[in-house]
Amino acid sequence: MISTNRETAPQPVAPLGAAWVAEALRLAGFQVRFLDLCFVRNPVVAVEAALAEFAPDGIALSVRNLDNCNFLAPKSYLPELREVVRAIKGHSDARVLIGGAGVSILPRQVLEYLELDYAVVGEGERAAVAFFGARDIDAAGRVPGVVRREGAPHRHGEQSRAQCVEPVAPCVDWVMPRLHRWIDAGRYLAREPVLPVQGKRGCAHRCLYCTYRRVEGESWRVRDPAAVVDEIIESMRQNSAGEFEFVDSIFNEPEGYLELLLEEVLRRGVKARFCASSLSPKGLTAQQLRLMERAGMTSLVITPESAAGATLAALQKGFDEDDVNRAAELLGRSRLRALWCFLVGGPEEDEETLGRTVAFLNRHVGSKDGAFITTGIRVYPGTGLHRLALQEGAVRADDDLLMPSFYFSPKLTPERARALLDSGVHHGRCIHLTDTQAPILGTLRRIGTAIGLPTPFWRYAGFAKGALGTWRGQGGTPVRRH
């Protein structure tokens, strides 16, 4: 199992999904070696050395992201990944399966670019076990959820599966991923002392731009809260971790989920700190926030994407401007630190709608909070945003979208949007996506961890402005590419 993600900005992310698949393979009787490329200096050399030492019969490649989703400084991770794949082909004739969130979105395009034959769409635990356990490659290629590239070996007359991609059936029996078995958790904890945990998968919403439904499924599937807490306790014992991030797509949905999970945390007397990577403003209650505080949660990320009703409606978020403001008022009265996420330049965005977001940032992002601002939205096939981008001419009909393409409202320019934000927001608690690429921030994270600064580290965004200013002054600011 090779985790190929090497992105460390804004912080390195422990490969939870790859660990889940590796553990499923181990439990199925396979001898599994895990290679994490995140911190290696030369990924090709690391892969060649691992192949020589282990000589695997099968190789699973996990791809978290295809690119950095940065409109102002786009970077594809695929060229480096292609070099890794070529090294594999040059040193092994093992059966290869590629998967992960990035692959699930564009499986056919990824296979063609990398010149690989088989990919899995959606969850990999069942599909990987069946693929590597199949008696021959023909049987492996017919595993549910596995996509076959055009031209790959298959039975005479059988239709290519790359033309009709069906995700694998969702997992019902969850295994514990056991990160400590597969990765050097200390390398991640040294950058920020937080480890991920996932209590559910899937999403029932239909946001215009989002791919979660493709990656995780169209309905929520909830783990047994006792099993989630078991995982947390084991990780505390094995990794000496003291803080965990719930990485569920939306932590406060479906109704009753967070209550069951956090009440189990309290019942078991778990002494840890928690944060959540995605909260919806819709339906948020004061009772939920009090429960979060009691259970040890100290911060959360909330993702309205806009504070303007017209843009929210165009993004098909399922909540309105009043919901966003109501959630902000509740969070403002709580002890929880909130990082508000906004997508600037979405459909119907203009100076008026952006002005409403600026007013929100001034009114509701208090001294304990922050805002993360992304300019432009990555376009993925099959989404409503893709259809809109085609209609407006933002992308071409022949663009397969494997390399990053973006949508930005024709009613505004990125330069004007940044000027409005810079001149309109009266505090320094806004973090722009491009700023997270500054190498100095990685150094500041390591220093913060070493001296025991309280998390989340985004709370220190204001203190990092000087360092970022120096980075820009030395020519570090990327410019938008056309």
458 and 335: one domain? yes
CB-based burial of residue 407 (10 Å sphere; 0-12 exposed, 13-18 middle, 19+ buried)? buried
404-409 average pLDDT score: 98
Whether residues 343 and 290 share a domain: the answer is yes
Into how many domains does the chain fold?
A: 2
CB atoms inside a 10 Å sphere around CB 234: 15
Least confidently predicted of 63-72, 208-217, 446-455 = 446-455
CATH of the domain at 315: 3.80.30.20
Phi, psi of 172 (to 5 degrees): -105, -45
In a domain, 174, yes or no: no
Region class of 430: left (phi > 0), else alpha (psi between -120 and 50), else beta: beta
Asked whether residue 183 is assigned to any structural domain, the reply reads: no
pLDDT surpassing 70 at residue 168: no
Strands 297-305 and 337-344: parallel
pLDDT tens digits for range 302-318? 999 999 999 999 999 99
Q: Quick check: is 172 in a domain?
A: no
Weakest mean pLDDT among 64-73, 172-181, 339-348: 172-181
- Indicate if 204 and 158 belong to the same structural domain: no
The whole-number average pLDDT for the span 259-285 is 97
Residues 140 and 281 grouped into a single domain: no
Same domain, yes or no: 71 and 142 = yes
Residue found by looking up tokens 């978020």 in the block? 317
Task: Report residue 165's pLDDT band, with 50, 70 and 90 as the boundaries.
Answer: very low
Residue type (1 letter), 231: E
Residues 158, 240, single domain; the answer is no
Over residues 359-374, mean pLDDT: 96
Residues 467 and 392 in one domain: yes
Domain range for 287 is: 193-473
Minimum mean pLDDT range among 10-14, 268-272, 415-419: 10-14
pLDDT number for residue 482: 37
Q: Sorting pLDDT into bands at 50, 70 and 90, what band is 473?
A: low
The burial class, CB within 10 Å (0-12 / 13-18 / 19+), for 161 is buried
Strands (E), 221-369: 221-222, 243-246, 273-279, 297-305, 337-344
| pLDDT at site 460 | 74
pLDDT on residue 479: 42
Whether residues 257 and 378 share a domain: the answer is: yes
199 and 159 within one domain: no
Residue 464 has pLDDT above 70, yes or no: no
Q: Note the pLDDT of residue 213.
A: 85
Q: How confident is the model at residue 446 (pLDDT cuts 50, 70, 90)?
A: confident
Does residue 188 sit within a domain? no
Residue 455 has pLDDT above 90, yes or no: no
**478: pLDDT confidence band, cut at 50, 70 and 90?**
very low
Six-digit token string for 353: 């709608």
Residue 173 lies in a domain: no
Question: Residues 359, 249: one domain?
Answer: yes
pTM comes to 0.91
Of residues 108 and 478, which shows the higher confidence score? Answer: 108
Give the per-residue pLDDT at 112.
97
Residue 262 lies in a domain: yes
Q: What angle do CA 167, 133, 101 make, to 5 degrees?
A: 30
Same domain, 114 and 202: no
State how far the Cα of 57 lies from the Cα of 133, in Å rounded to an integer.
11
Element (H, E) at 473: helix 461-473
Q: Are residues 133 and 248 in the same domain?
A: no
Tokens 């002392």 belong to 193
Assign residue 136 the CATH number of its domain. Answer: 3.40.50.280
